Amino acid sequence: MKIAVNTRLLLKGKLEGIGWFTFETLKRITAKHPEHQFIFIFDRPYGSEFIFGSNVTPVVIGPQSRHPLLWYYWFEHSIPRVLKETKADIFVSPDGYLSLKTTIPQLSVIHDINFYHQPKGLPWLTSRYLNHYFPKFAKKAKRIVTVSQYSKTDISNHFFVDPKNIDVVYNGASEQFIPLAPEKIALVRADLTNGKPYFVFVGAFNPRKNLARLIEAYGIFRRSTSSDVKLVLVGEPMFKTSDIQRAYKKSSYKNDIIFIGRKGIDELTCIIGAALAMVYPSTFEGFGIPVLEAMKCGIPIAASKATAIPEVAGNAAIYFDPYSIEEMAKAMLSIFIDAELRNMLTNRAINREKEFSWDKTTELLYSSIEKCFV
């Protein structure tokens, strides 16, 4: 069988959530199924580390699709041409985008539909494109994969898709995320925060990640205690970050809020593992991979009780209303002052993370591909 895959988010040194999903699952599927030929379709020069075996044929087609108009051209003109030329049997799209012009079976991985619920959190044209085309993609797909029961219900209800055609395939996280020894924690903190404990957030900076409220909540937390616990923010601006800038400028604790940009997995495992706790205030998530990474590191979690986050974190987190700065600050304070609570959350995290793995993700994704031919 010839399996064509949209691999445009396999970007060297720039893998985000969907990119990691693509990387980890394809690496395993191509190795486990040498009987199939895989056609990886890129929109720019690719890294050799993404060609996982001799059964992978890379194809580069333009234009580079990073804008709604270019998305349209790439998926409605470039993709159908490649699928026809390669005689592909199926098109798998890990980022959800499909081609409305091809007739071969297509599998769409729709991680969430945050754009439907929070359209103003996106650039105008991006929001228009996603809200116009993704309902069409959902109807066009032979099957849909999504990453939580929450997202399955959400997609089914709002895009009018039979839930029998949607498979839940939870994300995994790298095995590099492990609890750190006390000596390693001390070294990481010495380098990052002059030895001070810190709360950590990981993710792209955009409105739904709710960082402005996190910065305000951190201020309340600091005023309620004499501690000098820092706040470390890992990630890069994506769009619409003016509220983050305003909150930061108004904060009385600017010197203790540390922006460290995007980090590779080797550094990230240490940064998360050495944290006092992760604070994850997002208002909308289809899954929330950083929460799982925190669980694998065995650190306490204070998280938003919105959307799919409680489904992932379960009893390994304490929860707050993401729109309540006071609740968020109270959760941070509880974790800081209560060693027994921290220990309990750590133990629960270590137990719960075992329910998720990229091997399980891969097995379920491949099963969904097979269902397209039943």
**Four-way CATH pick for 2-172+357-371: 3.40.50.2000, 1.10.150.20, 3.40.50.10490, 3.20.20.70:** 3.40.50.2000
List all residues 6 or more positions away from 48 whose beta carbon is below 8 Å from its beta carbon.
Answer: none
CA angle 117, 10, 207 (to 5 degrees): 30
With a cut of 90, say whether residue 359 has pLDDT above it. yes
Per residue in 152-206, pLDDT (tens digit) is: 999 999 999 999 999 999 999 999 999 999 999 999 999 999 999 999 999 989 8
pLDDT band at 16 (very low <50, low <70, confident <90, very high): confident
Q: Give the rounded percent of residues in the chain with a pLDDT score beyond 70.
A: 100
**Architecture, CATH, for domain 182-355:** 3-Layer(aba) Sandwich (3.40)
Encoding tokens for residue 241?
């970050």
**What mean pLDDT do residues 318-335 have?**
98
Beta bridge partners of 259: 233
For residue 275, give the 3-state DSSP assignment.
coil
**What mean pLDDT do residues 15-41 have?**
95
**What mean pLDDT do residues 104-126 have?**
95
pLDDT band at 343 (very low <50, low <70, confident <90, very high): very high
Residue 237 has a pLDDT of 79
Strand ranges across the sheet with 37-42: 56-60, 37-42, 2-6, 90-93, 106-109, 143-146, 166-168
pLDDT band at 226 (very low <50, low <70, confident <90, very high): confident
With a cut of 80, say whether residue 238 has pLDDT above it. no
Domain ranges of the chain: 2-172+357-371, 182-355
With a cut of 80, say whether residue 240 has pLDDT above it. no
pLDDT band at 274 (very low <50, low <70, confident <90, very high): very high
Residue 62 has a pLDDT of 93
> Which residue's entry shows tokens 């929109």?
43
List all residues 6 or more positions away from 231 whose beta carbon is below 8 Å from its beta carbon.
Answer: 198, 199, 201, 214, 215, 218, 253, 256, 257, 258
Per residue in 88-97, pLDDT (tens digit) is: 999 999 999 9
Residues 209, 223: Cα–Cα separation, whole Å? 23
Per residue in 116-145, pLDDT (tens digit) is: 999 988 899 999 999 999 999 999 999 999
With a cut of 90, say whether residue 146 has pLDDT above it. yes
Tell me the residue type at 230.
K
What phi, psi does 193 have (nearest 5°)? -135, 25
CA angle 5, 152, 372 (to 5 degrees): 40
Give the chain's mean pLDDT. Answer: 96
pLDDT band at 252 (very low <50, low <70, confident <90, very high): very high
